[in-house]
A and B are shown apart, each in its own frame.
Chain A
């Protein structure tokens, strides 16, 4: 079930909110769990059992890790948990990739399994792993209630496209959490803002991208517009979803950590990955990079650690060579930045760093969006006129004109400028703050109405991160 669907917004959500606030606190997790299972069942009836198995496996392993704490068995159960979780992820997400790779390398004719990818498996697997690993490390307390643990893993706001909420972030809130008018209002506003990012910006940029891909009238200008559009599209799609998840969490009394922090104002790639998909970046840092030794090792070992982490980051995003290339591309750049690029950029005016970073990011999203490496190289070549494409084409001019305001909104919206202006006005005096409160109400209400209008008459509405 998509957040940006009529079914979710006007059938599922009202009923869940009503039930949630109608029952006493001790029944709230039960309502959330049932709602989450129904939410998942709506999109994946059969794989709901797989998720329940993952939940139960995580829960049982947690109890066993705690039971045998201080003995070797505790570690064995932690490893068992990791192996089972990763095995499920491997079977359902990566089997066909390996089969096709083997077929390609040795010329065999193995049949792919063609298993459908369970929605959100990459997210809920990583959440379950964070619990058992943190528990083993002593960073988390064992969860004795299966219902509470199941509520954590299956919590529908973040179930299928993140952010990857670690158990330690919400452990206390599973048993005690505060509900208030303020939280519900803030959560509702955040949800609507996220929905607007998805429906009014990402979807429209998606239409532009579809037009680019359909067009036989390519040009250098069109390629650059596409590169900008795909970068902003992925950002608004994913960060919009994260905003919705955080907003919904807040309505139900949960505090999820931020997942994005204006990544397009990064001054280099290292900075970018501190601002982009923060929950994934910190997950790999804490559960892969640091255990490998982090940067407190020899240079060669450090490079190896970086290679492993970024290979896995790419592979996590998808079972394909374009995703692996995408991850490795960042790994190489991070190493180069460490040794050369950062020092070089430091000698140049600041704006050069920003331009460098934006171009690097755009290239990365071209790779991310491509179905083949050859296609990605072709598109990157198109940016520089490879293949004799003209500088300007009729289609590029037409779509630039038609989508100019969307581009401007997206570019400005990807910077902290709107938030800065909002805070500036809010802090300029009591009267201004009171007026801004009224403006905020009108803005959020109008956005919601506009979103509904676009949903009802829209056709382009997929969520990119559902496939991960």
Chain B
């Protein structure tokens, strides 16, 4: 090809790419949500003098231009394909895949976060649970089972547990569930475990808390929703096999009353404003996070009253999202289970409105990701 034609082709190509995407971006309708990325997309910012002079408008427009770029998901796939297969990089923003199992690197261990977390738990125990039975356990992320063996970075779990147990001292009994899990118990496309695979975890916890006899004979029916793609699946923009989301039901659940805090109007007449709901929310499967099927996803306070065991103890679980699927498996051991998520409610407010009673069980049950970021806990 002669130079003259090369110049023409380059100019036409450059102009076509610039002009094509300029008009494409202007003409394409804006989207509200990226289902793949599980997040709302930036919308065209309001135009006003204050925002322009403070550069907020420009910064928001930059985000808008990125989020609403035409064929955004296809661009993300191109980048991911190139990154993994040509540049040979091990992870894409921490996301890696081993035999179709997607995970995200949790690294490094933040020692101070673990120490601070133990201090926060101790503060709660000393203030609210002097006469209750306190337990604590740690949910390993799935990197614990797949990272090191496949050459990926992971947390120093031994050090994490040592720091936590040293920090907790005699405040509570540690329950080890690391040995009750393996990599197959987690979804391939999500960070969470599958409810039907954690019965052993529930049994381990129940044995330690003395309620194993009440839960051991519960029979569950498996309910399956096909086409599950978890949050990691969305962050990994290359093709993955869809999975099945399984949720367990039992006859006894008919006698449960589930309530969650009305987050829009949380306090009414100086009491928590709880609204009755269901254990499972299958309509949430089509939302941005299908794992919200379990107990409707994130909520500061959820209670499950168990009509099958009215004389039993109460259980208070300080928790993250893993407990949404696990806690229903423990309910038959108690008269009432209360789930408290301190990422969304402060300990002071919680303490004002919840009566923890005496001789009840308290379980601090957090995943390693939250323990490594305990600044999220509002204590």
Contacts and interface: CB of A to CB of B under 8 A. Distances in A.
Interface of A: 1, 5-7, 9-11, 13-15, 17-18, 42-46, 181-182, 184-186, 188-189, 192, 204, 214-217, 394-395, 398, 401-406, 434, 437-438, 440-441, 444-445, 448-450, 452-459
Given A11-B65, A14-B18, A216-B109, A453 B78 contact: yes
Contact of A402 (B6, B52, B90, B237): B90
Given A441-B10, A453-B76, A453-B79, A215 B108 contact: yes
A23 B151 CA distance: 59
B7 A181 contact: yes
Interface string B1-43: 1111111111101110111011001000000000000000000
B65 A10 contact: yes
B2 A6 contact: no
Contacts of B53: 45-46
Interface string B49-64: 0001101001001100
Contacts of B10: 185, 188-189, 440-441, 444
Interface size class of B (residues with CB under 8 A): 35 or more
A188 B10 CA distance: 8
Given A189-B10, A437-B6, A457 B55 contact: no
B65 A7 contact: yes
A434 B2 contact: yes
Given A216-B108, A437-B2, A441-B13, A402 B19 contact: no
Contacts of B214: none
A455 B67 CA distance: 11
Nearest to B109: A216
A402 B89 contact: yes
Contact of A45 (B3, B4, B9, B55): B55
A454 B21 CA distance: 16
Contacts of B14: 184-185, 188, 192, 448
Leading 9 A-B pairs by shortest Cβ distance? A185-B7, A402-B90, A453-B79, A453-B78, A188-B14, A6-B65, A437-B6, A185-B10, A14-B22
Interface in B74-95: 75-76, 78-80, 82, 86-91, 93
19 contacts: A6-B69, A10-B25, A181-B4, A182-B7, A184-B11, A398-B90, A402-B90, A434-B1, A437-B5, A438-B6, A440-B6, A441-B1, A448-B17, A450-B78, A452-B75, A453-B82, A456-B66, A457-B80, A458-B79
A448 B25 CA distance: 17
Given A216-B109, A216-B111, A398-B151, 10 more contacts: A11-B22, A14-B22, A18-B19, A44-B55, A215-B107, A405-B86, A406-B87, A437-B2, A448-B17, A452-B75
B29 to A, nearest CB: 17
Contacts of A182: 3, 7
Contacts of B61: 7
B152 interface: yes
A17 to B, nearest CB: 7
Contacts of A438: 1, 6
Contact of A5 (B62, B78, B89): B62
Interface string B119-161: 0000000000000000000000000000000011100000000
A449 B16 CA distance: 12
A457 B151 contact: no
A30 to B, nearest CB: 22
Given A17-B18, A398-B151, A450-B78, A188 B6 contact: no
A181 B14 CA distance: 12
